[in-house]
Amino acid sequence: MKRTKHSKDFKLQVVKEATETGNNSLVARRYELNPNMVSRWIREYKDGKYGEVDVTVLPDIDSKELSEENEKLKIILGEKDLEIAILRDLIKKKNPPLAEKLEVADRWIQKGYPIKKVLKIIGISRSTYYYQKNYRVEEKKVSEGRPAPGYSIKEDGQKVSDEQIKEYLLEEIAGDGFNYGYRKLTKLLRRKYHLIINKKKVYRLCKELDILRPQRQKKVSYPRKLARNRTIKSSNKLWEIDIKYGYIEGEDRFFFVLSIIDVYDRSIVEYYMGLSCTAKDLKQTLLRALFKRQQINEREKPVIRTDNGPQFISHTFEEFCEKYTLEHERIPPKTPNMNAHIESFHRIFEDDCLSRWQFETYAQAYESVAEFMVFYNERRMHSSILDLSPNEFYEQQQCENVKIKEVRV
């Protein structure tokens, strides 16, 4: 059996531990030694064989080794922690671009971590890092387009400053254009002030004035099978009728507005307003509309589409339709989308008139509704009819044969 030779330092370390613990067998078991050997080393130490050495101040050999190992483990764990922290920064975005990787690398390098280690974890070569750091072209902070001239030109060549155009916009917002977006305001500036201006500039000016309308949230639509059994190619083919309620705050009561809309030219052909709305009122309003559009003696009169309200299913109204040979169709219950044009008008009516004002008397409400109906028919631009008002489109349609895309309902 080969004999193991132990160093003097090792023997002194064992003697030290045995002296401190007072249990030779325990120390021998730890180092896998014979207890008799440990006892012999203690006697030799006491006899001065190892020289004048005080074991109470001897360096702890195993402690040194453990300390070194501990430091190594700390370094490894520190590198792992660094790697996890850096990867946590990168994982916030899926497939981050190079610019974001460089930004993360700079942040950790500035904290004092080694460049080589950080770049290895992120997956960027040192050549790429130093090239991007030292030689890349700085990103442009502003557009290279031509600077804004500060004015626009009228059709006759006269210059109008941007400040003047802003005043025009504020005037229109305070008047008929209070509910217009930048696109319709552009049309208004061209028509009313004869400016040669595009919608991008109007958008910029409106943004500077902080008068842009909030973006309308798009509602998720679900496909439905609708009965699209009519194709409308001109006016006076299909009229939709419905009733809208308004509230008088000062008198704490409601009023009724019955409207008739032509689905092709979007005009409110006729309307009725009152504190009640009966089938008789409906009959008289529709009769006025027929006379207004000169349809009373036509063989093919407009088709009348309504919902199933009590006025529309009454015998009085049905007898009126039979007398004047009017075709009356009713939409199925709970399908307002089949009466979409009058419902759309009622939304505009609610936003631009009923919700805008607080009525103290019925007279105030009557005046506001009358003014709105004139504004809607004569001045309000409508996107679906070439950005014309309903009356303008109807007149041009009669004189110039202006056409739009057919309406399917």
At 185-202, the pLDDT tens digits run 999 999 999 999 999 999
Q: How many CB atoms lie within 10 A of CB 43?
A: 10
- Give the mean pLDDT of 38-63: 70
For the chain, the average pLDDT equals 82
Give the whole-angstrom CA distance, residue 67 versus residue 83: 24
pLDDT attached to residue 390: 92
Using the predicted structure, report yes or no on whether residue 226 has a pLDDT greater than 60: no
Type of residue numbered 305? R
- Give the mean pLDDT of 22-39: 80
Give the residue, 408 or 295, on which the prediction is more confident.
295
Give the whole-angstrom CA distance, residue 132 versus residue 234: 64
Type of residue numbered 313? I
Using the predicted structure, report yes or no on whether residue 203 has a pLDDT greater than 60: yes
Give the whole-angstrom CA distance, residue 334 versus residue 103: 57
pLDDT attached to residue 223: 39
Q: How many CB atoms lie within 10 A of CB 37?
A: 15
Using the predicted structure, report yes or no on whether residue 19 has a pLDDT greater than 60: yes
Give the residue, 295 or 7, on which the prediction is more confident.
295
Residue 310 contacts residue 276 (beta carbons within 8 Å): no
Domain boundaries, the chain: 8-59, 63-134, 151-209, 231-408
DSSP state of 338: G
pLDDT attached to residue 248: 93
Radius of gyration of the chain (CA): 45
Using the predicted structure, report yes or no on whether residue 29 has a pLDDT greater than 80: no
Residue 303 contacts residue 327 (beta carbons within 8 Å): yes
Give the residue, 391 or 61, on which the prediction is more confident.
391
Bridge partners for 388 per DSSP: 382
pLDDT attached to residue 221: 47
Residue 173 contacts residue 184 (beta carbons within 8 Å): no
Least confident of 34-38, 92-96, 202-206, 321-325: 92-96
Indicate the pTM of the whole model.
0.55
pLDDT in tens, 242-276: 999 999 999 999 999 999 999 999 999 999 999 99
Tokens of 47: 């006899």
- Write b or e for each residue in 354-382: b if 16 or more Cβ atoms lie within 10 A of its Cβ, otherwise e: beebebeebebbeebbeebbeebbeebbb
Highest mean pLDDT range out of 90-99, 109-118, 351-360?
Answer: 351-360
Burial class (CB in 10 A: 0-12, 13-18, 19+), 322: exposed
Burial class (CB in 10 A: 0-12, 13-18, 19+), 58: middle
Tokens of 100: 């974001």
Give the whole-angstrom CA distance, residue 288 versus residue 272: 10
Q: Three-state DSSP class for 313?
A: coil
Residue 215 contacts residue 166 (beta carbons within 8 Å): no
Give the whole-angstrom CA distance, residue 352 versus residue 375: 10
Q: Three-state DSSP class for 33?
A: coil
Least confident of 4-18, 255-269, 270-284, 361-375: 4-18
Bridge partners for 256 per DSSP: 245, 274
Tokens of 79: 């590198």
> For residue 270, how far is the Cα from the chain centroid?
39
Least confident of 96-105, 223-232, 315-324, 370-379: 223-232
Using the predicted structure, report yes or no on whether residue 33 has a pLDDT greater than 90: no
pLDDT attached to residue 409: 76
Tokens of 382: 């409508």
Give the residue, 246 or 408, on which the prediction is more confident.
246
CB neighbour list of residue 139: distance below 8 Å, 6 or more residues apart: none
In degrees, to the nearest 5, what angle opens at C-alpha 351 toward C-alphas 346 and 353?
A: 85
Using the predicted structure, report yes or no on whether residue 332 has a pLDDT greater than 70: yes
In degrees, to the nearest 5, what angle opens at C-alpha 375 toward C-alphas 194 and 335?
A: 120
Helices (H), 111-217: 115-122, 126-134, 162-174, 182-193, 199-209
Backbone angles phi, psi at 404, to 5 degrees: -125, 175
- Write b or e for each residue in 202-234: b if 16 or more Cβ atoms lie within 10 A of its Cβ, otherwise e: bbebbeeeebeeeeeeeeeeeeeeeeeeeebee
- Write b or e for each residue in 2-28: b if 16 or more Cβ atoms lie within 10 A of its Cβ, otherwise e: eeeeeeeeebbbbbbbbeeeeebeebb
Using the predicted structure, report yes or no on whether residue 116 has a pLDDT greater than 70: yes
pLDDT in tens, 338-358: 899 999 999 999 999 999 889
pLDDT in tens, 157-184: 899 999 999 999 999 888 888 888 899 9
- Give the mean pLDDT of 76-85: 65
* Percent over 70 (pLDDT), the chain: 83
Give the whole-angstrom CA distance, residue 206 versus residue 202: 6
pLDDT attached to residue 56: 59
CATH class of residue range 231-408: alpha beta
Backbone angles phi, psi at 38, to 5 degrees: -65, -40
End-to-end CA distance of the chain, in Å? 106
pLDDT attached to residue 77: 56
